[in-house]
Structure 1
């Protein structure tokens, strides 16, 4: 009975436009995009999500697409954007034209702060590709300011998106070290990861002024893994103590993301 009541409660919210905090879908040939935002928490933070519904055969890019592609851009008005979450990506394309991204619908959790008490608008710029690549530019507005509590369907959607994000470092799955090559054109990454199954896949990302390529073949070195990651662009001035480079690893169905200490 309790489950039935919960389902009916959720359906009531789904049918009530006054309670909606979800923007309409902006539709394009390659995919659709919308914004979901929840009411502000007691501490003033707002949980939100960019929902990217790719069409069959279309792909979009990770935050560092690997030298080819358009990284997603999200600007927020009505609140302050403090974090964008990205699920672990995949290598896509072929040997001559490869990039890093997603080949299935993907949800990017957003953390917002200091809401201004009204609607929240996300100005979004994405690249989606199939036989050709097209830019997707959208302005998405959601307003949860009049709601006292979250729509359970919207809250569930954002919680599901949070669950797709990589876990932090832990025993047996963690970065060990990074080392610049003598010419500064690559970073040698050492890390621990689950050893069963195929070799892990490695991705690096930093601030927008860094740009990394697709990692070379991962190899075992005793009980750890090693990969060489090309540095396609390295800014003249950077502070890794303030803005560390992140290591993201996919090992089978397990993913991890953590700052990488670089020597």
Structure 2
């Protein structure tokens, strides 16, 4: 998918020349990116993060950009990518060029399995950063996650902060209730509980790479719950929600929640 305001495209690529607990920064016109890893744990687990340092006025995209944009892509060699986390996003752009993402530096925590790997880990990253133009960025970032590698306290704190920035799981008073596809499959009606002592919730849906969701309509109250209608821009013919559920992400001011959404 292409951003509607793309005025020029610049494909950037780089290979980090050195092995370290963090890769060198890969610099672009709109922002810089690096891979940070902690030393491999005894069970082979490696905590890591993709550190995206956006420049002023530039933006990047969430895992489901909302029908317009470039979702981040991360593949790993030297280890297995078990999970990638995304902080709750924001609605960006305007009515004509709506998309979902981040307008400030963002860190995406990674959990890797390096039981069968060596010391070095390489992340091949593709993401979009946009301002008046949209810049697709491609980079190979290499770091050393061996047991002997030195992890600075700053790197440990940075990864802990990235993990802490992720939405909380469902809890009492802040949880999904149900989702239901419309008869024409063009929208999902989402019901959820959220704190009522702040601004109206902002609602985001994401699923497998084959699903695409648009901007949720105005949130309304029905009794003690919130309801939002979310456009379905693409629904695959074949999918397994038990294996790969649709996830509901909700932001209420500074409070965020993310949890699988049960589809009726």
TM-score normalised by length of structure 1 = 0.91
1:150-184 CA-partner distances (Å, limit 9, x unpaired)? 32211111000001000000000000000110001
SS in 2 for 1:208: coil
Cα distance, 1:41 vs structure 2 = 1.3
SS in 1 for 2:256: strand
What's the counterpart of residue 218 of structure 2?
217
SS in 1 for 2:161: helix
Cα distance, 1:117 vs structure 2 = 1.8
What's the counterpart of residue 11 of structure 2?
none
Structure with bigger helix share is: 1
| Structure 1 residue runs without a partner (length 5+) | 1-17
Cα distance, 1:118 vs structure 2 = 2.0
| Structure 2 residue runs without a partner (length 5+) | 1-17
What's the counterpart of residue 193 of structure 1?
194
SS in 1 for 2:248: strand
Q: CA RMSD in A?
A: 1.3
Provide the rounded CA distance (Å) in 2 between the counterparts of 1:238 and 1:37.
33
What's the counterpart of residue 51 of structure 1?
51
Provide the rounded CA distance (Å) in 1 between the counterparts of 2:50 and 2:100.
19
Consecutive aligned runs of 4 or more in structure 1 exceeding 4 Å deviation: none
Provide the rounded CA distance (Å) in 2 between the counterparts of 1:144 and 1:46.
7
Aligned CA distance change for structure 1 residues 142 and 148 (closer, same or farther; 3 Å): closer
Q: Select between 192-201 and 60-69 the one with higher mean Cα deviation.
A: 192-201
1:79 correspondence with 2:76: no
Aligned CA distance change for structure 1 residues 153 and 99 (closer, same or farther; 3 Å): same
Cα distance, 1:147 vs structure 2 = 2.0
What's the counterpart of residue 22 of structure 2?
22
Contact 1:20 1:151 in 2 (8 A): no
Cα distance, 1:114 vs structure 2 = 2.9
What's the counterpart of residue 111 of structure 1?
111
Look at both structures and tell me which one has the larger radius of gyration over its CA atoms. 1
What's the counterpart of residue 256 of structure 2?
255
Provide the rounded CA distance (Å) in 2 between the counterparts of 1:38 and 1:197.
37
Provide the rounded CA distance (Å) in 1 between the counterparts of 2:68 and 2:244.
23
What's the counterpart of residue 136 of structure 2?
135
Provide the rounded CA distance (Å) in 2 between the counterparts of 1:146 and 1:169.
35
